[in-house]
Amino acid sequence: MAGKQVFTINGSPRKDFNTAALLHAFADGAREVETEVEVVEVNLYDLHFTGCRECYVCKLRNGRSYGHCGFCDDITDYLDRVAHADVVAFGSPIFFSEITAQLRAFLERLWYPFVQFKRGEEQIIAPQPVRTAFLIPMNLTEQAMLRSGYDALLSPVLRWTQYIFGHEPRVQYCFDTLQYRDYDRYWADAWNIAAKQRRHEQHFPTDLVQAHQLGRSMLEASLTE
């Protein structure tokens, strides 16, 4: 059992709000299964990096970095480590109907080296299957989210992750989140603030329990391999 490694990748600029809380609950769930599990928390907004630079070092014939991201910045080391982890939870708030630019940039760098275009060989060269989860909070309610088609916009991210890492990603949406601790300080009265606060008090704890259970069940599943 010992030696399992979990990554939580926070794609929210905030390190103490909805996404972070969901990721912490997820990590706690994993720790509950095995206290020795190593949890590596990455806050993408603390790091200096970009999306794929099209240097194509990962595709060079006889290149030392073939199949690895050869562009050096703050995430380079994390990319290979994440691909060798047992469980990876990606967290991102919805920004304009999609995951944040930082998480998208991280995923471009993570995915692309593992897709190869050698005739007659497997297209995917990720070192191993990885169990992944996406924890995605947003302002909208579930009904509004479905009406707005976010699930269709998010589906390529989930499909690429599954194609490259071999497991279907688990997805937990978290709806109608509290955007501010103190709504009085901001112009936000287009929202029903009382209803949002009620929802936060009554439902967010359930979201955290769900994230905790997800972390727990994903680590348990990794132990059965």
Amino acid (one-letter) located at 158: L
Nearer to ligand FMN, 27 or 58 (CB): 27
* Shortest distance (Å) from residue 178 CB to ligand FMN: 7
Q: Is 138 in the site for ligand FMN (CB under 6 A)?
A: yes
Only one of the segments 9-17, 82-90, 124-132, 205-213 lies at the binding site for ligand FMN (rule: CB under 6 A); that segment is 9-17
Which sign does the torsion angle of CA 45, 47, 53, 58 carry?
negative
Q: 169 to 208, contacts with ligand FMN by CB under 6 A?
A: 177, 179
Number of residues that bind ligand FMN (CB under 6 A): 16
* Shortest distance (Å) from residue 71 CB to ligand FMN: 26
Q: Is 8 in the site for ligand FMN (CB under 6 A)?
A: no
Q: Is 134 in the site for ligand FMN (CB under 6 A)?
A: no
Assess contact for 68 and 58: CB atoms under 8 A: yes
Which sign does the torsion angle of CA 143, 14, 21, 83 carry?
positive
Assess contact for 28 and 36: CB atoms under 8 A: no
Going across the sheet that includes 87-91, the strands are 38-43, 5-10, 87-91, 131-137, 170-174
Assess contact for 95 and 136: CB atoms under 8 A: no
Q: Is 18 in the site for ligand FMN (CB under 6 A)?
A: yes
Q: Is 14 in the site for ligand FMN (CB under 6 A)?
A: yes
Assess contact for 52 and 112: CB atoms under 8 A: yes
Among residues 36, 54, 62, 96, the one that binds ligand FMN under rule CB under 6 A: 96
Q: Is 89 in the site for ligand FMN (CB under 6 A)?
A: no
Q: What is the DSSP letter of 14?
A: -
Among residues 8, 19, 210, 222, the one that binds ligand FMN under rule CB under 6 A: 19
**Which parts of this chain interact with ligand FMN (CB under 6 A)?**
12, 14, 17-19, 93-97, 137-140, 177, 179
